[in-house]
């Protein structure tokens, strides 16, 4: 006989529930955090959406009679003809499928990826409207049921296994809060520790590093459907912060589709640079920032949305001053299961997010 997972007592989620009530109140009155200042780049920042294209950004023309662009023009027409057939027949293909229809012509997968993004931007439609899907690399686990486009019903369990993030879902059920985990290794460790069962009802997602389109779409879909608190668990380093920003605010390359991909309500749960000091993590468990790390951190600090996040800025400045970073695994210095047994439960119970 199967038993439903037993989570904490209802009182455990009091702070979390108040946070959700605050999010819902913000949605009802139609306001967000203090808007950020616009940029002069190809994207502007709007707090309720994230990075968006500026109305009059720089464009380029592709001409059939120009030696410099004739090949690009031909490839765009080739892919447009394939998209037309997919839409007419109401069928779908992956970007990989399109590449392998004529791999010698396209040369490499990146060429196909860039042209599909250009077409999506040019026509001002989501990639899904072109009937082109991406192969998912992300994983999801927890208290979630959904139906895939072909009618397959999927029940994500809270056991030691996860389900691949679907390319499209028609219906979703049963969600309370969502934890986005940066790395697959951390995600798997939380599964092994039965974190989902202990914190039930919860959902965990990982994009295995920089998230693919399907993982970002799923996170957005869960937020739109339930307006549940969404938290990120990333390394205390510039790369982890960058990944968190992609989920929350989007990326320059996909700014034309920001309204379908971003969740500005996301909060940073951990690992915070201030946690390193608070928990007395020894210096030999930390890693010096490389030159590239310092440049990345400096770049993030200059972004307009950081002006809206004074607590984020304080954490990043703390990292910059110390010139040290830490992986989530640094918590194993305290105990092998400290992350799932102490760190995350306390953060969730007492509101340790920013």
Tokens 């939380």, residue located: 190
The pLDDT, as a whole number, for residue 38 is 33
Residue 323 sits at φ, ψ, to 5 deg, of: 60, 30
**First and final C-alpha spacing in the chain:** 41
The mean pLDDT of 63-76, rounded to a whole number, is 81
pLDDT 10s digits, 259-306: 778 999 999 999 999 999 999 999 989 999 999 999 999 999 999 889
pLDDT 10s digits, 138-177: 999 888 877 776 677 777 765 566 788 876 665 555 567 8
Q: 229 falls in which pLDDT band (50, 70, 90)?
A: very high
The pLDDT, as a whole number, for residue 39 is 34
Would you say residue 52 has pLDDT above 80?
A: no
Distance CA 261, CA 211 (A): 11
> Given 92, 99, 100, 247, which residue is catalytic?
100
Distance CA 133, CA 114 (A): 14
β-strand partners of 233: 181, 270
- Catalytic (active site) residue 100: yes
pLDDT 10s digits, 107-142: 899 899 889 888 887 888 877 788 887 777 899 988
Tokens 């392998």, residue located: 100
Tokens 């909060």, residue located: 267
Q: 350 falls in which pLDDT band (50, 70, 90)?
A: very high
The pLDDT, as a whole number, for residue 45 is 53
Choose among 292, 6, 246, 20: nearest CA to 138. Answer: 246
Distance CA 87, CA 128 (A): 10
The pLDDT, as a whole number, for residue 34 is 38
Average pLDDT of the chain is: 83
Would you say residue 2 has pLDDT above 80?
A: no
């Amino acid at each position: 006989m199967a038993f439903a997972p037993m989570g904490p007592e209802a009182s455990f989620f009091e702070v979390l529930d108040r946070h959700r009530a605050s999010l819902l109140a913000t949605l009802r009155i139609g306001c967000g955090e203090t808007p950020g200042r616009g940029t002069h780049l190809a994207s502007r920042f709007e707090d309720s959406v994230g990075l968006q294209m500026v109305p009059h950004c720089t464009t380029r023309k592709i001409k059939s009679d120009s030696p410099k662009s004739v090949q690009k023009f031909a490839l765009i027409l080739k892919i447009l003809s394939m998209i037309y057939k997919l839409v007419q027949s109401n069928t779908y293909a992956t970007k990989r499928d399109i590449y392998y229809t004529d791999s010698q012509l396209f040369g490499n997968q990146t060429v196909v990826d860039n042209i599909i993004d250009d077409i999506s931007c040019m026509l001002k439609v989501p990639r899904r409207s072109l009937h082109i899907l991406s192969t998912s690399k992300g994983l999801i686990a927890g208290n979630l049921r959904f139906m895939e486009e072909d009618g397959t019903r999927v029940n994500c369990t809270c056991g030691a296994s996860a389900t691949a993030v679907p390319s499209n879902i028609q219906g979703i059920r049963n969600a309370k809060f969502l934890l986005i985990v940066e790395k697959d290794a951390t995600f798997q460790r939380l599964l092994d520790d039965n974190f989902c069962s202990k914190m039930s009802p919860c959902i965990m997602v990982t994009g295995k590093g920089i998230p693919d389109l399907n993982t970002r779409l799923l996170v957005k879909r869960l937020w739109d459907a339930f307006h549940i608190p969404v938290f990120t668990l990333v390394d205390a380093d510039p790369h982890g912060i960058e990944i968190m920003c992609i989920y929350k605010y989007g990326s320059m390359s996909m700014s034309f589709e920001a309204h379908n991909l971003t969740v500005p309500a996301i909060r940073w749960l951990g690992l915070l640079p201030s946690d390193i000091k608070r928990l007395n993590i020894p210096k030999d468990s930390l890693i010096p920032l490389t030159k590239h790390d310092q440049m990345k951190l400096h770049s993030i600090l200059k972004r307009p949305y950081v002006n809206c996040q004074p607590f984020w800025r304080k954490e990043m400045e703390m990292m910059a001053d110390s010139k040290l970073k830490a992986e989530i695994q640094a918590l194993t210095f305290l105990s092998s299961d400290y992350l799932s047994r102490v760190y995350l439960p306390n953060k969730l119970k007492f509101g340790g997010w920013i």
